[in-house]
Amino acid sequence: MRAVIAALAANLGIAITKFIAFLITGSASMLAESVHSVADTSNELLLLLGHGRSRRARTELHPFGFGRERYFYAFVVAVLLFTVGAVFSIYDGVHKILAPEQVRRPEVAFAVLFVSAVLESFSLRTAIRESNRERGERSWQSFVHATKAPELPVVLLEDLAALLGLWFAFLGVLLSVVTGNGVWDGVGSVAIGVLLGCAAFVVGYETKSLLLGESASADMSASIVHALEEGPDGFPVIHMRTSHVGPESLLVAAKIAVPGSLTAAVLAARIDAAEQRVREAVPIADTIYLEPDIYVPAREDATDPSIQVVRRSRRTRPGQRPGSDPPPA
* Residue 256 · residue 267 · CB < 8 Å: no
146: which residues sit within 8 A by CB, 6+ positions away?
138, 217
Phi, psi of 298 (to 5 degrees): -70, -20
Range 200-224 average pLDDT:
86
pTM: 0.72
Q: Using one digit for the tens of pLDDT, what is the confidence trace for 22-51? A: 888 887 777 877 887 887 788 888 888 888
Q: Which residues are CB-neighbours of 212 under 8 A, at least 6 positions away?
A: none
CA dist., res. 274 & res. 263, Å (int): 16
CATH architecture classification, 218-313: 2-Layer Sandwich (3.30)
For residues 213 and 161, what is the distance between their CA atoms, to the nearest angstrom? 27
Calculate mean pLDDT across residues 262-280.
91
CB 67 within 8 A of CB 245: yes
Start-end of H helices in the chain: 2-25, 28-53, 69-80, 88-98, 106-135, 140-146, 151-179, 183-212, 218-229, 264-281, 305-313
- C-alpha angle 39-40-45 in degrees, rounded to nearest 5: 95
Which CATH superfamily groups domain 2-212?
Cation efflux protein transmembrane domain (1.20.1510.10)
What's the confidence (pLDDT) of residue 329? Answer: 29
222 contacts: CB under 8 Å, gap ≥ 6: 306, 309, 310
Q: How far apart are CA 238 and CA 298, in angstroms?
A: 10
Instruction: Give tens-digit pLDDT for 48-81.
Output: 888 888 888 888 888 888 888 888 888 888 887 7
When pLDDT is cut at 50, 70 and 90, the band that residue 321 belongs to is very low
Closest of 163, 149, 323, 146 to residue 228, by C-alpha: 323
What's the pLDDT score for residue 283?
93
Mean pLDDT of the chain: 81
- Asked whether this chain's domains 2-212 and 218-313 adopt the same fold, the reply is no
* pLDDT higher than 50, residue 318: no
Lowest mean pLDDT among 134-138, 225-229, 286-290, 303-307: 303-307
Is 150 within 8 Å of 247 (Cβ atoms)?
yes
Sheet holding 287-293, edge to edge: 237-246, 249-257, 287-293
For range 170-174, the mean pLDDT: 88
Taking a C-beta distance cutoff of 8 angstroms, is the pair 32, 192 a contact?
Answer: yes
What's the pLDDT at 224? 92
Q: What is the pLDDT of residues 73-120, one digit of tens each?
A: 888 888 877 777 788 788 888 888 888 877 788 888 888 888 888 888
> Would you place residue 312 in the very low, low, confident or very high pLDDT band (cuts 50, 70, 90)?
low
Calculate what percentage of the chain has a pLDDT beyond 90. 10
Report the chain's C-alpha Rg in angstroms: 27
Mean pLDDT of 132-155: 82
Return the domain boundaries, the chain.
2-212, 218-313
- Taking Cα atoms as reference points, which of 227, 272, 77 lies closest to residue 156? 77
pLDDT category of residue 313 using cuts at 50, 70 and 90: low
